[in-house]
């Protein structure tokens, strides 16, 4: 099925602790252009708790979402009547935040007389490389975020095959919990990476769970426990000790992900014609980690694939990826009713069960 020529879409993202809105244009050639992209972080609201508090997040979304949307529309230079559709994250995520964004998106669509598109947050990540790099289908996606760690074969719009996932903690969660155990500030990912810069990655002997298993699944719970036990052995921890533990943890993570990525590329390549050079897309907030990205670059090159990493601002939660996913779906006539309910859990591969394009 061919997509419509163009689409101008407002996208709203409130699935966790960023309140975001963006306006994105999908051109006649299928390429995207970001007209506005506003993200308001809630880090300061949650820092004292060492993690996201759902009730605080939902309340913050209520307080600022209208302003964030207005800023995005003003920056884009369009009126609501110029839009072709309105998109909002409908899941997965924190249910309170999803309700705020979804209800607001429906209200804007109804008031402007425009179609509404309910977007799967994971699909936003999955399609972000098509917005930033104009990437064609198919490609292999490694999604690494606070709530998800999985390999997905992206065969086309609505055509997603999950090849592997975490059997316990997501990688971003493991970073956050490691930071909290070591007394580092929230969010944990950037804090661990910063501390690791001055550390010795070979000082602390940490396990690499499932690294030698013939599976594309991950496990980070045991690694996190090992970090706690090693930290207790060394205690009291100096700044140098913390740096060494962080560097060793980061090195273990990079080894695990690189090994799994090499296997995933081999499995993905088996489904496509010989001679095609696979594309590996890495997305999600943890994709901003420089050590992890370097390890992925090496793993992809050694496996005969090309690494595609969208800009950091498109890897973390943002409205542009939601607007783009909405524009892609709208271009193929995939719109939703105003009765669409939020989903705290919504696996990406479920999207293909209702038909493909």
Give the tens place of pLDDT for each residue, 56-65: 989 999 999 9
What pLDDT is stored for residue 147 in this prediction? 85
* Mean pLDDT for the stretch of residues 133-154: 94
pTM: 0.93
What pLDDT is stored for residue 4 in this prediction? 59
More confident residue, 70 or 288: 70
**What residues contact residue 134 under an 8 Å CB cut-off, 6+ apart?**
30, 31, 32
pLDDT band at 3 (very low <50, low <70, confident <90, very high): low
pLDDT band at 356 (very low <50, low <70, confident <90, very high): very low
Which CB contacts under 8 angstroms, 24+ apart, belong to 133-140?
133/308, 133/310, 134/30, 134/31, 134/32, 135/279, 135/281, 135/308, 138/272, 139/278, 139/279, 139/280, 139/281, 139/308, 140/264, 140/265, 140/268, 140/278, 140/279, 140/280, 140/281, 140/305
pLDDT band at 238 (very low <50, low <70, confident <90, very high): very high
Does 264 have pLDDT greater than 70? yes
- Which region, left, alpha or beta, applies to residue 134 given φ > 0 means left and ψ of -120 to 50 means alpha? left
CA of residue 338 relative to chain centroid, distance = 26
Residues of the chain with CATH 3.30.420.40: 7-133+314-354, 139-310
> Percent of the chain at pLDDT above 70?
97
What pLDDT is stored for residue 354 in this prediction? 47
What pLDDT is stored for residue 355 in this prediction? 41
Does 29 have pLDDT greater than 50? yes
What pLDDT is stored for residue 285 in this prediction? 85
What pLDDT is stored for residue 5 in this prediction? 63
Task: Report helix, strand or coil for 227.
Answer: helix
* Mean pLDDT for the stretch of residues 287-308: 94
Lookup: tokens for 101: 């964004």
Q: Are 122 and 348 spatial neighbours (Cβ–Cβ below 8 Å)? A: yes
Does 357 have pLDDT greater than 70? no
Which tens digits make up the pLDDT trace of 160-214?
A: 999 999 999 999 999 999 999 999 998 899 999 999 999 999 999 999 999 999 9
| pLDDT, mean over the chain | 93
What is the second-level CATH architecture of the domain 7-133+314-354?
2-Layer Sandwich (3.30)
> Percent of the chain at pLDDT above 90?
84
- For the chain, helix (H) and strand (E) counts, in that order, are 11, 10
* Strand intervals (E) in 108-166: 116-120, 139-144, 149-156, 159-165
Q: What angle do CA 172, 57, 149 make, to 5 degrees?
A: 20
Superfamily of domain 139-310: ATPase, nucleotide binding domain (3.30.420.40)
| Most confident option among 2-16, 42-56, 343-357 | 2-16
In whole angstroms, what is the distance from residue 86 CA to residue 323 CA?
8
What pLDDT is stored for residue 165 in this prediction? 96
Does 48 have pLDDT greater than 80? no
In whole angstroms, what is the distance from residue 117 CA to residue 50 CA?
34
Q: What angle do CA 324, 288, 301 make, to 5 degrees?
A: 95
What pLDDT is stored for residue 1 in this prediction? 42
Spell out a b/e string for 132-144, using b for 16 or more CB atoms within 10 Å of the CB, else e.
bbebeebbbbbbb
- Residue 69: φ, ψ to 5°: -65, -45
């Amino acid at each position: 099925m061919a997509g419509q020529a163009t689409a101008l879409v407002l996208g709203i993202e409130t699935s966790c602790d960023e309140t975001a809105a963006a306006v994105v244009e999908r051109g006649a050639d299928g390429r995207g252009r970001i007209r506005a992209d506003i993200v308001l972080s809630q880090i300061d609201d949650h820092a004292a708790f060492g993690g996201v508090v759902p009730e605080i997040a939902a309340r913050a979304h209520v307080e600022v979402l209208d302003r964030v949307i207005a800023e995005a529309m003003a920056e884009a230079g369009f009126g609501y009547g110029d839009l072709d559709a309105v998109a909002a994250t409908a899941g997965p995520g924190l249910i309170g935040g999803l309700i705020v964004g979804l209800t607001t998106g429906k209200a804007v669509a109804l008031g402007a007389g425009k179609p509404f598109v309910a977007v799967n947050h994971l699909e936003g990540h999955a399609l972000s490389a098509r917005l930033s790099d104009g990437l064609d289908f198919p490609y292999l996606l490694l999604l690494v975020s606070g709530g998800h760690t999985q390999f997905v074969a992206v065969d086309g719009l609505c055509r997603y095959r999950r090849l592997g996932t975490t059997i316990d903690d997501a990688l971003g969660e493991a970073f956050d919990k490691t930071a909290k155990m070591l007394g580092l500030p929230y969010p944990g990912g950037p804090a661990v990476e910063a501390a690791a810069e001055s550390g010795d990655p070979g000082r602390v002997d940490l396990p690499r769970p499932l690294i030698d298993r013939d599976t594309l699944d991950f496990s980070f719970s045991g690694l996190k426990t090992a970090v706690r036990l090693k930290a207790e052995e060394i205690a009291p921890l100096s700044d140098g000790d913390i740096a060494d533990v962080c560097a060793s943890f980061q090195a273990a993570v990079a080894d695990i992900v690189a090994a799994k990525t090499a296997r995933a590329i081999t499995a993905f390549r088996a489904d496509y014609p010989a001679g095609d050079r696979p594309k590996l897309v890495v997305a999600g907030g943890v994709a901003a980690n420089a050590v992890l990205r370097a390890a992925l670059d090496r793993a992809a090159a050694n496996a005969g694939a090309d690494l595609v990493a969208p800009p950091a601002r498109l890897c973390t939660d943002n409205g542009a990826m939601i607007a783009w996913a909405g524009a892609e779906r709208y271009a193929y006539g995939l719109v939703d009713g105003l009765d669409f309910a939020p989903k705290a859990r919504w696996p990406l591969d479920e999207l293909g069960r209702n038909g493909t394009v």
